Amino acid sequence: MRGKRIILFGLIGGFSAFLLCGGVGTCVAVRTWRSLPGSAITVSRDTTYLEGPLDKDGYVDYAAALNQQLSEGVAPEENAAVLLLQAFGPPFGNAEYRRKVYDLLGVEPLPSEGEYFVDDETFVSELVAEKTPDESRDAAPSMEANTVSTPSEKLYRDLEEASTRPWTAQEFPDLARWVEVNEGPLELVAEASRRPKCFLPIVLLTPEEGLISYGMWLAHMTRSAVRVLCIRATLRVGEGRRDEAWQDLLACHRLARHVSQCPMAVASLTGVAMESMVTQSETVLIHYGEPIPGQIRQILDDVNSLPPPRPLRDRINADRLQTLDSFTRLSRNLGTALEEGGDTPKSEFAKELIGMAGRAAMDWDEVLRTANRYYDALEEAVDRPTFPERREAVAALNAFINAEMERMRGFGRVVRSFASLRSPRTTMSKHIATVSVALLCSLSDMAMRADERAFTQRQMLLIALGSAAFRAEYGVYPQSLAAVHAYLTYVPVDPYSEKPFRYRLENDGFVLYSVGPNGIDEAGLNRDDPGSPEDSKADDIALHVPPLPPSDPVE
C-alpha cells in the first residue's frame, strides 16, 4: 500500500513539477493558483459524500463520523474490544493515542506491565533468544532431509502441522508452552468473543494521519489469539476433550466475526482469513474427534446462531470514506505527502511550493466526484444477486479503470496532450482520480473475492457437518451429498455455479469443493495447493476432511 501511495504522489507531484519547472513556468503556476479555487473542497454528497461532522478548518472529519457510526449503542460492558484490550495490553501507540482510546471507550487506562497475551512474533523472539548455540546447531538442516533450520522456522512448521491433526505436548513442546503461557489471557479473549459488539475507536493525532491503518493492531493480535485457540482445540481433540475443543473453535468464529466488523478493508480481510483458519481446525474435530450425534447437532446449532458477517456493501462504503479521507488530506498536505513518499528531503519552501502547484493543478472536487462515481458503481455491482452477475459487473468496471490507466502511460505524452486541451485542469483531475482510485481501492476487489470465498467455505462447512452427522450414526461418510439432507435445514449449493457442490470419498475421508471463480471443475485443485505447478490457473475451493498435511519445507 505504501508503494501505491508513492505512485499516486508521484503522478500528482510530477504534474506539479511540470507546472513549476517545465514549459509552463513558475509564474504561470503561481498565477493559476491565485485565480483558481483549488485549495478548497466543496462539502456535498457528490464530493465529500458526508456533510459532517466538520473539523476546525471546515473539512469533513471522517474519523469522527465513523466513530459516531460505529460506537452508536455500544456500552463498555458489551464491547468485546474492552476485554480484548485487557487481554492484549495497552494498544500500540504513544501515551496520547492510548489516552484518547481509553477516553473514547470509557474505560480506565491499563498498566504497561501485566499478564498480557504473548503473540506469535513475541513468543518466537523469546524462543530464539533463549536457545543456546548448541540447540540452534542441532536444528540446522541436513542435506539429506527436508528439515527446517531455525527455532522460529521449526515453531511455524510445527504450528502448521498441529493445525491439521491432533497432537500432544510431548510432540510439540514449544507449542504447548505457547498455549500454557497464554491460558490467562485466553480466558479474557474467549469471554470477549461472547460479547455482542466490538468497537475500537479511530484516533488520529495529526492532520497527516489517515484511516488506512485503522484496526490493524487489534486485527493482528486477535488473529494471533485465534491461532493459539485453534491449536489448543486440536490439542484437546488429541486429549479426547471434544466439547472443550469446540468451545475454543466457537470462540474463534465469534472473534473472526468481530474483526470482520471493522470497516477498513485490510482489517476485515484479516477476519475473513481467521474463519478459513478455524474451518481447517474444525475438520480435525469432525474427523479425528468423532463427535457423537448430539455433539454434531450442538455444533450445527452454534454455527447457525453466529452473527452474520458485516455486509460487503458496508465495507466498500467504508473504503469509500477511507479514499475520500486520503484525497482530502492529500489536498491539504500535498507537500508533506510528497516528502513522505520520496527519498530526497525537501525544504519547507519547496514543499509549500509543490503543494501550491498541486492544488492549482488539481480540481479536488472533480477528484472526489470521480472517486464517488467509482464507488457508486462498485456498490451497485456487489448488490447483484448472484456471484456470476456480480463478477460480470465488477469486470466491466475494472475494464474501464484499466483503460484509463493505459491512457495514462507515458507521463510526458499525457502532459503534452493536457496542455492542448481547453480545460486541462479538469481533465487532469479526472484522469489522476481514476488512476488513483485503481491504485488505492484495489482492496475493495480483494474484499469482494475474499467475501465470496468465505461465504463458500461457510456453506461447505455446513455440508461437512452434515456428513459428520451421517458418520456418527452409520460409522462411515455418505456416498453422496443426497444423504446429508436429513441432517441440515437446507443443503447449500455452489454459489459460483448455482449447482450442487462436488463431493467424493477419498482415503478414509472426503473432499468437498466448489468450482471457484472460473466455473471450471478442476477436481478440487487450486493453484495455491502444496505442490501445485507454478503456471497453474486452477481455482477450485476445496474442503478436505481430514485436512491435507502441510507441504514440505523448501531446502
Q: What is the tens place of the pLDDT at every residue in 177-212? A: 999 999 999 999 999 999 999 998 988 877 667 786
CA 138, 141, 143, 146 torsion: positive or negative? positive
Give a yes or no: residue 169 inside a domain.
no
Q: List 384's β-bridge partners, or say none.
A: none
Domains in the chain, number: 1
* Positions in the chain short of pLDDT 70: 1-39, 131-149, 207-208, 212-213, 215, 334-361, 407-425, 432, 436, 439-443, 551-555
Give a yes or no: residue 176 inside a domain.
no
**pLDDT value for 443:** 65
CA–CA separation, 466 and 472 (whole Å): 10
**pLDDT value for 345:** 45
**pLDDT value for 174:** 94
**pLDDT value for 469:** 96
CB of 150 closer than 8 Å to CB of 174: no
Give a yes or no: residue 502 inside a domain.
no
Give a yes or no: residue 337 inside a domain.
yes
**pLDDT value for 172:** 96
Give a yes or no: residue 410 inside a domain.
yes
Helix H or strand E segment including 2: helix 2-21
Give a yes or no: residue 485 inside a domain.
no
State which residues form the domain around 432: 2-35+333-440
Q: Which residues fall within 8 angstroms of residue 444, CB to CB, at 6 or more apart?
A: 265, 316, 319, 378
User: Which residue, among 2, 36, 5, has the nearest Cα to 428 in the 3D structure?
Assistant: 36
Give a yes or no: residue 11 inside a domain.
yes
CA distances from 293 to 39, 65, 470 (A): 67, 48, 8
**pLDDT value for 34:** 34
Q: Which residue has the cell 468450482?
A: 515
Contacts 24+ apart (CB under 8 A), 352-357: 353/20, 354/13, 354/16, 354/17, 354/20, 356/29, 356/30, 356/33, 357/16, 357/17, 357/19, 357/20, 357/29, 357/33
CA–CA separation, 43 and 400 (whole Å): 27
Contacts 24+ apart (CB under 8 A), 92-99: 92/217, 93/203, 93/217, 94/205, 96/205, 97/203, 97/205
CA–CA separation, 234 and 241 (whole Å): 10
**pLDDT value for 540:** 97
Between helix 242-260 and helix 183-193 the angle, nearest 10°, is: 60
**pLDDT value for 140:** 41
**pLDDT value for 13:** 46
Give a yes or no: residue 185 inside a domain.
no
CA–CA separation, 110 and 119 (whole Å): 18
Please tell me the pTM assigned to this model.
Answer: 0.84
**pLDDT value for 239:** 95
CA distances from 333 to 61, 266, 501 (A): 15, 24, 52
